[in-house]
Structure 1
Amino acid sequence: MSTPDVIDVADVTDVTDVIVVMGVAGTGKTTIGPLVAEALGVPYAEGDDFHPTANIAKMSAGIPLDDADRGPWLDAIGAWAHERGGRGGVVSSSALKRAYRDRLRAAAPGIVFLHLTGARALIEERMAERRGHFMPAALLDSQFATLEPLGPDEAGVLVDVAGTPAEIAGRAVAALHARDAAGAR
């Protein structure tokens, strides 16, 4: 069964959760996030826009962020999610560690994670093709080393990033809807 190039949102109803599109660099958070937000009829916030200038400079220099660097960034994303609580929204954030996701949940308990995942070779290829982004492909190894997949007790879904953006977003919306239909919390 193939996924259509158009996202069918006929089954998507009241969206009140804030969805955090997460994953390592190069999985397409910035591309897929707005498509999912549009399909769900909620606003999108680009997680990279919440980074302090010092974080962007550090990553641009090829230096991975540490937990102290990520704290203010996660807090800013958490504040946005808290403000959107009950009205829905989509925001991107790598959210690679459980502790980072716990910090986001502490600010906005209803968060649902959309974990974009896929083959390392595909992700590396996509990173090599993008232009003008501050995150170099050289940091991909550190991203995978840091990644702690969603635990069974964490609200969320996993979506593979193979295919076109519309296909990936379509699978994401379908997975989120199926999760909601199953009454998952």
Structure 2
Amino acid sequence: MQQLHTPHVVVVMGVAGTGKTTIGPLLAARLGVPYAEGDDFHPPANIAKMTAGTPLTDDDRWPWLDAIGGWAHGRAGLGGVVSSSALKRSYRDRLRAAAPGVVFVHLTGSRELIEDRMSHRQGHFMPTALLDSQFAALQPLEPDEAGVAVDVAGSPEEIAERAVNALTDLPEPAQ
């Protein structure tokens, strides 16, 4: 398996349960860049809200997105992979404002598949009960946004391979 290198900073996005935390490190390894877990950027208050089954508000998300954007900015020209739900266009715009060359890998799948995967997770703070709010907030990538959609059916290795192949077709980021 050939390792690729990219100067892109890639945000692996999607609703909870799509496999961002699983696919992100696999993708980073294939691209030869570091991985950062987006959940690690949440302040404790956000984790507490989600653990209690309360969806985050935009005001809750701004500091989290700014922290992810700061990490992505620091990786500009070097490449990196970070996970973030990035559900709304405004969230992705905020990430792009911090790191203009960022591209998105939107992990997509049926609600049934994602709910099934979430129900088998252990030790994660996000309850399945919040999945509906995630889908309600989701605004898929628009044609003017740098990124690709990748279906999450199949093994993690297959999904990561599809993501690498899709990213190969993207133009190099502007510096």
Q: Same fold (TM over 0.5)?
A: yes
Q: Which residue is 1:175 aligned to?
A: 166
Q: Note if contact 1:50-1:76 (Cα within 8 Å) is conserved in structure 2.
A: yes
Q: Which residue is 2:12 aligned to?
A: 21
CA displacement at 1:65 relative to structure 2: 0.2
Secondary structure of the residue that 2:105 maps to in structure 1? strand
Q: Which residue is 2:43 aligned to?
A: 52
In structure 1, C-alpha distance between the alignment counterparts of 2:110 and 2:104, rounded to whole Å: 19
Pair 1:89 & 2:51 matched: no
Pair 1:37 & 2:28 matched: yes
Aligned with residue 60 of structure 2, among 66, 69, 72: 69
Structure 1: which 5+ residue stretches go unaligned?
Answer: 1-7
Pair 1:99 & 2:87 matched: no
1:37-68 Cα deviation digits (max 9, x unpaired) = 00000000000000000000000000000000
Task: Work out the percentage of aligned pairs sharing the same amino acid.
Answer: 73
Aligned residues: 174
Q: Which residue is 2:121 aligned to?
A: 130
- Cα RMSD for the two superposed structures: 1.3
Aligned with residue 114 of structure 1, among 96, 101, 105: 105
1:63-89 Cα deviation digits (max 9, x unpaired) = 000000000000000000000000000
Give me the TM-score of the superposition, normalised by structure 2: 0.96
Give me the TM-score of the superposition, normalised by structure 1: 0.91
Aligned AA (1:33): G
CA displacement at 1:174 relative to structure 2: 0.7
After superposing on structure 2, the runs of 4+ consecutive aligned residues of structure 1 that deviate more than 4 Å are: none
Q: Note if contact 2:13-2:20 (Cα within 8 Å) is conserved in structure 1.
A: yes
Q: Note if contact 2:8-2:173 (Cα within 8 Å) is conserved in structure 1.
A: no
